[in-house]
Structure formats: C-alpha cells, structure tokens
Structure 1
C-alpha cells in the first residue's frame, strides 16, 4: 500500500488526476469534495474507458513502470 493518502478533488480535471497518479505511481485515487468527504474512487480502468486512447495509453505505460 502506498504510504500516505493521496487524493484529488472533484473540481480537478481528469488530466490533473492522471498526472497525480503518474507522479505518485498509484493505480487508484480517492476523490473528495469541497467538504473533504469521499465521493468516489478513480481507477486506471476508469481512465481507459473515458479518455482518448493516447491519454489512457500514456497513463497505463507510466503506471506500469512503477509496478513491474
């Protein structure tokens, strides 16, 4: 498990969340609202289904480097 909690907020873009996941080497990212309440979980599979092939391919490739 990744040490420390890393999350994104509902007002952030998907691209921001992807970059955060890439930078931290995580495959799942909790999403919180302005009241700091958990409202969802963004997973690598969600990205693959909701973005372009180029963007999702880059995310998968970057995260695969962290998890051999």
Structure 2
C-alpha cells in the first residue's frame, strides 16, 4: 500500500511568523499535537505542543513568541508514493509518530500517523514501529542528555 492511500490530506499549516498562542489555539481546535510549518508553499519545519511547552514556555518565552523560535527546522518526511512498510520502519527508527508527506516537487500534500496506518490495515507494522518509537533515547527522550 502507498502512503497516499492512507494519509490525512488537507492539513492545516502554521506560518513561522505566527505566535505560539495562535498555533496552540489552532492545535486545540484541531485536536492535534503537531502542525507542519510552511512558508511560501514550502515545508520549513514542524511544531508540536511539546515544542511550545519546552522550547517556548519553559525557556521563558511568552505567548507572542514566534513559531520560528520554537519549531523544529530539521524535518523528517516521506513521499506520497512510498510503500507504507518502508515508512513505518523509518518512523520506528526515527522514533516519531507522524511524518509530513511531500510529493516529488517537495510540496506538502498530507501527513501520516501511526493511527492512520493502524486503521488502514497495517496494524502489525504499526505495532512494530511503535515498539521502536517507545525505546528509551532518541531526540525527544525524557532522559537527561
């Protein structure tokens, strides 16, 4: 199965110049913990509720701080024509639960999550990816670095 068959389309995109307050409000309305950040139709980052809390609030930034100041600029992504098995393996290795989906023109066309994959017939593979994601360590580990 290809990523395009099970990804979420019509993804809301944050702008790097928006305030973290605006993006947090958008996340709340969407019931989402992550949003792609785009500038001129290009993916330039990802922002999570954790970024807002740890890189924003915990570092003393107020609600008017800009998304660009707390987002992750190094974005891992997949392509819409990739096989989901490869993407799931990559998600486990990267220890991420979601990836933005790009076409080969590097335009954002969707987002894929473990939940999308698990509910579209890839439950066993999603479970294997979750095992990799749940291992201690990684970029988002709560252990001291």
Output the TM-score relative to the length of structure 2. 0.41
SS of 2:100 mapped into structure 1: strand
CA distance, structure 1, for counterparts of residue 115 and residue 73 of structure 2: 22
Q: Which moved more, 1:38-47 or 1:55-64?
A: 55-64
Q: Indicate which of 94, 98, 104 corresponds to 1:28.
A: 98
- How many residue pairs match? The answer is 68
Structure 1 runs of 4+ aligned residues shifted over 6 Å read none
More helix by share: 1
SS of 2:109 mapped into structure 1: strand
CA-based RMSD of the aligned residues comes to: 2.1
Q: Which string of whole-angstrom CA distances, capped at 9 and with x for unpartnered residues, describes residues 11-66 of structure 1?
A: 21001111111111111100000111000000111111113432222122222225
Does residue 135 of structure 2 align to residue 65 of structure 1? Answer: yes
SS of 1:55 mapped into structure 2: helix
Residue number in structure 2 paired with 1:46: 116
